[in-house]
Amino acid sequence: MHYELVTVIRPNDRIWMAQKSRIKEGSQVLSISPSPNFQAMLQKEALQGINILDQVTQRSHDPEAFLFFNQVPTAYCTEVYMNEDRTISLITDGDEVGKVSLYPMTRRHVKEVRYFYPDGTTDFIEEYAADGKLFSIIYYCNDQVQEIAFFNDQQQSILNYYFYQGTINLVTTRDTETFKVTQKFNTTLDFIRDQLAFQLTENDTVGISYMGLELFSLAKTNSINTLYLEESPLDGKGNIKGNLMSILDDRIPYIHKVEVDQKNYQLLANKNVCMDKVVLKG
């Protein structure tokens, strides 16, 4: 199977549109970052796809469901109040204890609920999927993220990111039946690499368009991986971009082809670099 690897789907983005054009029947989008509206985006884009976090938590999606703003589950005696400027507040005993954000271009469907401490700093944020199910809770202390918990349909925490001094230093997954921790990773990149190594086989092909997280997440895969270069191969100083150079000289061996247009092919050829992996767009 062919996959187009993305962090999240970005509708109307030029590079996403190029990736979308490569997703033929039998191909899929493969998303590697948290995306509460991923399934809704697939439906809107008329595509099939997988998000690795949803796969771990075993979330389902109900395309007919949503969470209306006045149905937010919150504390007893808390009022959901729409302000004159159309923002939505949670009020308890006359004090604002939270704010509700909505998905754009919807009839007031809830995207997230942000709760505050009395001093105004963030307590936690509840993120809701497009179908109204709880997607995650982001926990804060002293206005710094401490943990992100990702939930299954039963609002049970299956995947957790833990932070230390602003950086994720532990990722855990739990068994969906026993809820015992089954895997631990030091970074999100380690977690993503493990999931992709499990998902992709030597019979699969993968396309990427960015040389960041998408690139490095493929390090443990056996699939045939292609970088579709949609931007200039040169940096602001006229040198070949560092990660691209690492691909071309095979220091990044798990990218097998770099597909470029005629202009970028000539730019690379003029730099007198190894062109073994470089192919012209068909």
Tell me the percentage of the chain whose pLDDT exceeds 90.
92
Q: How many CB atoms lie within 10 A of CB 271?
A: 15
Q: What is the DSSP string of 86-112?
A: S-EEEEETTEEEEEEEE-TTSSSBEEE
Distance CA 157, CA 161 (A): 11
CA distances from 258 to 108, 205, 280 (A): 43, 13, 8
Work out the burial of residue 42: count CB atoms within 10 Å of its CB; fewer than 13 is exposed, 13-18 middle, 19 or more buried. Answer: buried
Q: CB of 130 within 8 A of CB of 44?
A: no
pLDDT confidence of residue 48: 96
Phi then psi for residue 41, to 5 deg, are: -65, -40
**E-assigned strand segments in the chain:** 2-6, 28-31, 49-51, 79-82, 88-92, 95-102, 110-116, 122-128, 134-141, 144-151, 157-164, 167-174, 181-185, 205-208, 224-228, 257-260, 278-280
Distance CA 262, CA 199 (A): 34
pLDDT confidence of residue 253: 98
pLDDT confidence of residue 84: 87
Distance CA 150, CA 160 (A): 6
Read off the pLDDT of residues 89-141 as tens digits, 9 standing for 90 and up.
Answer: 999 998 999 999 999 988 899 999 999 999 999 999 999 999 999 999 999 99
Q: Which of 190-221 are b and which e, b meaning 16 or more Cβ less than 10 Å from the residue's Cβ? A: bbbbbbbbebbeeebbbbbbbbebbbebbbeb
Read off the pLDDT of residues 230-244 as tens digits, 9 standing for 90 and up.
Answer: 999 999 999 999 999
pLDDT confidence of residue 282: 76
Q: CB of 243 within 8 A of CB of 218?
A: no
Read off the pLDDT of residues 234-279 as tens digits, 9 standing for 90 and up.
Answer: 999 999 999 999 999 999 999 999 999 999 999 999 999 999 999 9
